[in-house]
Chain A
Amino acid sequence: MDWEYFLELFLGGLTRGSIYALIALGYTMVYGIIELINFAHGEIYMIGAFTALIVTGVLTLLGWNHIAILVLAALAAVVYSSAYGYTIEKIAYKPLRNAPRLSALISAIGVSLFLQNYVLLAQTSDFLPFPAMIPDFKFMEPVAHIFSSSELVILITTAIVMILLTFLIKFTRIGKAMRATAQDKTMAALVGINVNRVISVTFVVGSATAALGGVLIASHVGQINFYIGFIAGIKAFVAAVLGGIGSIPGAVLGSFVLGWTESFATGYISSDYEDVFAFLFLVFILIFRPAGILGRSTTDKV
């Protein structure tokens, strides 16, 4: 067995996994609180990438230095996307909170299509080059042929975001309120939790992680267009389901498992069947653990 090849595929899967994870975290948070699959999440990611591109363009013209541009662009993307997330929730999901779940789902698909076409019309349908904002670190040079600097940055960011989110949910006041809202909205409202505010915060945080993902991934891949959110969103959704939707470590684990499955299937079998293996694996997991790898099974009381 060729261990170097194995390691390369393993690291490739890890990169792919952390890309999916950055998007999957937002999916799983929103689902955990209001049990809504937010299909517009991929579009928030795309909008984040576009915002960063515009800010980068302006700042590069002004001649700022690289790191400052990266930080400012990421900040702008996070703020702008969070505003979108907040507004979408108020306009498209809040009025449907007591409607059947299917209505909210269709509303989500509608928002997704709207945002895609909005960016298509307001910006362009072309592929745009995205500047590589993550510098090539000197100390990564010896291993650059198997693991690049941007991959390292994405991996570390994913880990930090996951730890921060876990901390937020486990140890803060708003986190406690989130957990209470997730368990029972009515009861949470009865004990004085502002449920609307909690849900808004969830959307803002989820959108912020997606925007961060948008900036890093676009910088890694080097190109964006209005359609990138759709494919990335679908894959991240699969990853979230695989890991157990609603669970934050689950989303990250599911993303890595999906990334590795795709990477090894491509490496050892054929990339023609990359997606086939990814989805076969999903079916396989769901047969034995219907709630996902780390998901808790809930029993419906009638």
Chain B
Amino acid sequence: MICILTVNANTVIYTKFCIIIIFLLTIIKEDGIMNWNCSRKALVVTIMTIFALMAGGALLFSCGEAEKPVEEEKVLEPIKIGVVGPHSGDLASYGLPTVKAAELVAEHRNAMCGVNGRKIELVVVDDVCKPEVATNMATKVIGEKVHVVLGHICSGATKAALGIYNDSKIVAMSPSATNPALTQSGDYPNFFRTIASDDAQAELEVNFALNVLKLKKIAVLHDKGDYGKGLAEFAKSFIEKDDRAELSLYEGVTPGAVDYSAVVQKIKQSGAEAVIFGGYHPEASKIVSQMRKKRMETIFISDDGVKDDTFIKVAGKYAEGVYATGPMDTTSNPLAIEATEAHRKKYGDDPGAFFLNAYSAALALINAIEKSCSTDYDDIVKALRSEYVATPLGIIRFDNRGDAIGVGFSMYQVQDGVYVELK
């Protein structure tokens, strides 16, 4: 999801740029031939001013970010944690909560005795979620001699920076990069994350269908969008890998269509016992309602695009019994409540996106340094993989690929008009 957003952000910037140029061209045209020279000068001046302003703004910003107050009375070398992510631009709302989480954790630890007597110091750097900026910023934090990195936020930027950290033997932990290949490719042994990867939902859906519901024939549908189709493709490959079930249908439906009866008939014709749907709730509720109206009892399993109360509101009585995966419920975790409370107290509002994931990542990194009594790459990696740590997301450790064990999705089912987590 983050990846797509990055592309969109770029497009927006280009569009804005184009609009400015078109606007300037219009000025020239309307000025006519009389003032041609004059306005061309004006154009050059305007463009230069814009560039100067943009460059100036960026410089000011990065200076402001880099100069963090340094503890004067340190006895030992501080532990430096690089916090890299988008802190300005369109995607700032994804990156800033991570900075706040890191600040809260660091403040909390420093108020006690830090990590093994060493204070925690944050090096906050802005990568605007762009791969090309991310590589520069990675080099920058390495130059600052950070011990570990909390970041990056977007999958694309993370991927670009990981090679550089790997060469310098620095652990990077992302609270939000969900691209499956980051851990599964095995290219980045230094990478860890406290969020489940994109294919985790599909895997959970298929496992649930095969192990719990014991189904033999499954149809996979998607809404042709990036998110839905991506999930559906993973689900399809998981079903095909397993001998216990057969993929009876794989189709994309047109989002927004007035009627899905043909697809519904096709599901019936294929003899599928269940439908796994990748997409969002408007299409899901239409398909479910039409299936039930045609007196079909086919089981419906979907993703966190459907695990939304709007789905239950819209599909009404037809929503009953529908399964959907969603992030594990953390609202009863005392650490999560404490972290959210601390955020409210310090910043005066509710935390933003990936806050708990980032809080957990910061705790996991600090825990690994503390337990291994070292800032060496090999020791930290070993500790991350072996030591359990209590976080707002639950008690977690990391597997050999870098994915967090204990973080992920749960299966929910609509029972009496509410989503209930199935244990």
Q: Which residues of chain A have a CB within 8 Å of any CB of chain B?
A: 2, 5, 8-9, 11-13, 15-16, 19-20, 126-129, 144-146, 148, 150-151, 217, 220-223, 225, 227-228, 231-232, 235, 262-264, 266-267, 270-272, 274-275
A271-B266 CB under 8 A given contacts A129-B316, A148-B294, A223-B285? yes
Contacts A221-B286, A271-B263; is A146 near B294 (CB within 8 Å)? Answer: yes
Query: What residues on A are CB-neighbors of B261 within 8 Å?
Result: 11-12, 15-16, 151, 263
Assess whether A5 is in contact with B286, with CB atoms less than 8 Å apart: no
Q: Quick check: A145 and B256 within 8 Å, CB to CB?
A: no
Cβ of A275: which chain B residues have Cβ within 8 Å of it?
Answer: 254
**Contact, CB under 8 Å: A227 / B256:** yes
Q: B252 on the interface (CB 8 Å rule)?
A: yes
For the complex with contacts A222-B316, A266-B262, 7 further pairs of A-B residues with Cβ separation under 8 Å are A8-B265, A12-B265, A16-B261, A127-B314, A271-B253, A272-B224, A274-B257
Q: Of B254, B296, B316, which is in contact with the most chain A CB atoms at under 10 Å from its CB? A: B254
Tell me if B281 and A16 are in contact (CB < 8 A): no
What's the nearest-Cβ distance from chain A to residue B181, in Å?
25
Interface centre among B251, B257, B268, B289 (most CB of A within 10 A): B257
Q: How far is the CA of A151 from the CA of B316 in the complex (A)?
A: 19
- A15, B281: Cα distance in complex, Å: 23
A217 CB contacts on chain B under 8 angstroms: 258
A264 and B263 alpha carbons, distance in the complex (Å): 10
Chain A residues with CB under 8 A of B265: 5, 8-9, 12, 267
Contact present for B314 and A12 (CB under 8 Å): no
21 contacts between A and B (CB under 8 A): A5-B269, A8-B265, A8-B269, A9-B265, A12-B261, A12-B265, A15-B259, A127-B281, A128-B314, A151-B261, A222-B289, A225-B282, A235-B258, A262-B262, A264-B262, A266-B266, A267-B265, A267-B269, A271-B253, A274-B253, A274-B262
Residues on A with beta carbons closer than 8 Å to the beta carbon of B371? none
Instruction: Decide: A231 near B257, CB < 8 A? Known: A9-B265, A222-B285, A222-B289.
Output: yes
- Minimum-distance CB pairs A-B, first 7: A12-B261, A266-B262, A263-B262, A272-B252, A145-B295, A8-B265, A231-B256
Interface residues on B, range: 20 to 34
In the complex, the chain A residue whose C-beta lies closest to that of B263 is A271
Measured CA separation A262–B259 after assembly (Å): 11
**What B residues does A227 contact at CB under 8 A?**
256
Q: Shortest distance in angstroms between A11's beta carbon and chain B's nearest beta carbon?
A: 8
- Does A271 contact B289, Cβ atoms closer than 8 Å? no
A127-B314, A266-B266 in contact; A232/B258 too (CB < 8 A)?
yes
Does B331 sit within 8 A of A, measured CB to CB?
Answer: no
Chain B: CB-nearest residue to A225: B282
Q: Does B108 contact A (CB under 8 A)?
A: no
- Asked if B293 CB lies within 8 Å of chain A CBs, one says yes
B315 contacts the other chain (CB 8 A)? yes
Q: By the criterion CB–CB under 8 Å, are B314 and A129 in contact? A: yes
Instruction: Tell yes or no: B313 within 8 A of A by CB.
Output: yes
Q: How far is the CA of A228 from the CA of B314 in the complex (A)?
A: 15
Kindly name the residue among A13, A15, A127, A275 whose own CB sees the greatest number of chain B CB atoms within 10 A: A127
| Known pairs A145-B296, A148-B294; A12 contacts B262 (CB<8 A) | yes
Cα separation A231 to B263 with both chains bound (whole Å): 18
- Report the minimal beta-carbon distance from A151 to chain B, rounded to whole angstroms: 8
Question: Which residues from chain A contact B266 at a C-beta distance below 8 Å?
Answer: 266-267, 271
